[in-house]
Amino acid sequence: MASRRLSLQLRRPPCLLIVLLAAAMVAAPARAAWVDYPSGVPCGETIPVEQCDPSDAAANSACMDVCHYGGCRRGGACVSLGFGRGRGCHCKG
Protein backbone atom coordinates (compact mmCIF):
# COMPACT_ATOMS: atom_id res chain seq x y z
CA MET A 1 0.00 0.00 0.00
CA ALA A 2 2.87 2.38 0.78
CA SER A 3 4.42 1.78 -2.65
CA ARG A 4 1.12 2.67 -4.32
CA ARG A 5 0.95 6.00 -2.46
CA LEU A 6 4.53 6.76 -3.50
CA SER A 7 3.80 6.05 -7.16
CA LEU A 8 0.74 8.33 -7.06
CA GLN A 9 2.81 11.14 -5.59
CA LEU A 10 5.45 10.81 -8.32
CA ARG A 11 2.88 11.07 -11.12
CA ARG A 12 1.56 14.49 -10.12
CA PRO A 13 2.75 17.17 -12.53
CA PRO A 14 5.15 19.71 -11.07
CA CYS A 15 2.79 22.69 -10.74
CA LEU A 16 5.56 25.20 -10.07
CA LEU A 17 7.33 24.25 -13.30
CA ILE A 18 4.11 24.64 -15.30
CA VAL A 19 3.44 28.06 -13.77
CA LEU A 20 7.00 29.25 -14.49
CA LEU A 21 6.87 28.04 -18.10
CA ALA A 22 3.53 29.76 -18.65
CA ALA A 23 4.87 33.02 -17.21
CA ALA A 24 7.97 32.85 -19.43
CA MET A 25 5.86 32.29 -22.55
CA VAL A 26 3.66 35.29 -21.73
CA ALA A 27 6.63 37.57 -21.00
CA ALA A 28 8.60 36.70 -24.16
CA PRO A 29 6.33 38.42 -26.72
CA ALA A 30 6.09 41.54 -24.57
CA ARG A 31 9.82 42.11 -25.04
CA ALA A 32 9.59 42.24 -28.84
CA ALA A 33 7.60 45.44 -29.26
CA TRP A 34 6.66 46.65 -32.73
CA VAL A 35 8.62 49.67 -33.94
CA ASP A 36 7.22 51.61 -36.89
CA TYR A 37 10.29 52.69 -38.86
CA PRO A 38 9.89 55.14 -41.74
CA SER A 39 10.62 53.85 -45.23
CA GLY A 40 13.30 55.21 -47.52
CA VAL A 41 15.78 56.30 -44.85
CA PRO A 42 18.86 57.70 -46.65
CA CYS A 43 22.26 56.15 -45.93
CA GLY A 44 24.33 58.11 -43.43
CA GLU A 45 21.22 59.45 -41.65
CA THR A 46 20.09 58.81 -38.08
CA ILE A 47 16.38 58.66 -37.41
CA PRO A 48 15.13 59.11 -33.82
CA VAL A 49 13.55 55.88 -32.55
CA GLU A 50 13.24 55.67 -28.77
CA GLN A 51 12.76 51.87 -28.77
CA CYS A 52 16.06 51.36 -30.65
CA ASP A 53 18.22 50.19 -27.73
CA PRO A 54 21.93 49.73 -28.62
CA SER A 55 22.22 46.83 -26.14
CA ASP A 56 19.21 44.93 -27.54
CA ALA A 57 20.06 42.45 -30.31
CA ALA A 58 16.49 42.34 -31.67
CA ALA A 59 16.29 46.14 -31.92
CA ASN A 60 19.66 46.28 -33.69
CA SER A 61 18.52 43.59 -36.11
CA ALA A 62 15.34 45.53 -36.94
CA CYS A 63 17.33 48.73 -37.48
CA MET A 64 19.81 46.87 -39.70
CA ASP A 65 16.97 45.44 -41.79
CA VAL A 66 15.26 48.82 -42.24
CA CYS A 67 18.47 50.40 -43.46
CA HIS A 68 19.36 47.44 -45.68
CA TYR A 69 15.94 47.42 -47.34
CA GLY A 70 16.26 51.18 -47.79
CA GLY A 71 19.34 50.62 -49.95
CA CYS A 72 22.18 50.89 -47.43
CA ARG A 73 24.41 47.89 -48.11
CA ARG A 74 26.11 48.14 -44.71
CA GLY A 75 22.80 48.11 -42.80
CA GLY A 76 22.38 50.09 -39.62
CA ALA A 77 22.69 50.01 -35.86
CA CYS A 78 20.94 51.50 -32.84
CA VAL A 79 22.80 54.44 -31.34
CA SER A 80 22.45 56.79 -28.40
CA LEU A 81 21.87 60.36 -29.58
CA GLY A 82 23.65 61.69 -26.49
CA PHE A 83 22.96 64.52 -24.04
CA GLY A 84 19.54 63.15 -23.09
CA ARG A 85 18.24 63.36 -26.67
CA GLY A 86 17.20 59.70 -26.73
CA ARG A 87 18.11 56.90 -29.11
CA GLY A 88 17.97 56.34 -32.83
CA CYS A 89 18.69 54.08 -35.78
CA HIS A 90 21.78 55.09 -37.77
CA CYS A 91 21.90 53.83 -41.35
CA LYS A 92 25.51 53.26 -42.32
CA GLY A 93 26.60 54.84 -45.60
Q: Which mean pLDDT values do the consecutive 10-residue runs of the chain (93 residues) have?
A: 55 64 57 62 88 91 89 92 88 88
Question: Domain limits at 50?
Answer: 2-33+41-91
Q: Which pLDDT does position 30 carry in this prediction?
A: 47
Q: Which pLDDT does position 84 carry in this prediction?
A: 81
| Under 8 Å between Cβ of 87 and 79 | yes
Q: Which pLDDT does position 91 carry in this prediction?
A: 93
Answering whether pTM is above 0.95, one says no
The count of domains in the chain is: 1
Q: Which pLDDT does position 79 carry in this prediction?
A: 95
How far apart, in whole angstroms, are the C-alpha atoms of residue 51 and residue 28? 16
Q: Which pLDDT does position 83 carry in this prediction?
A: 82
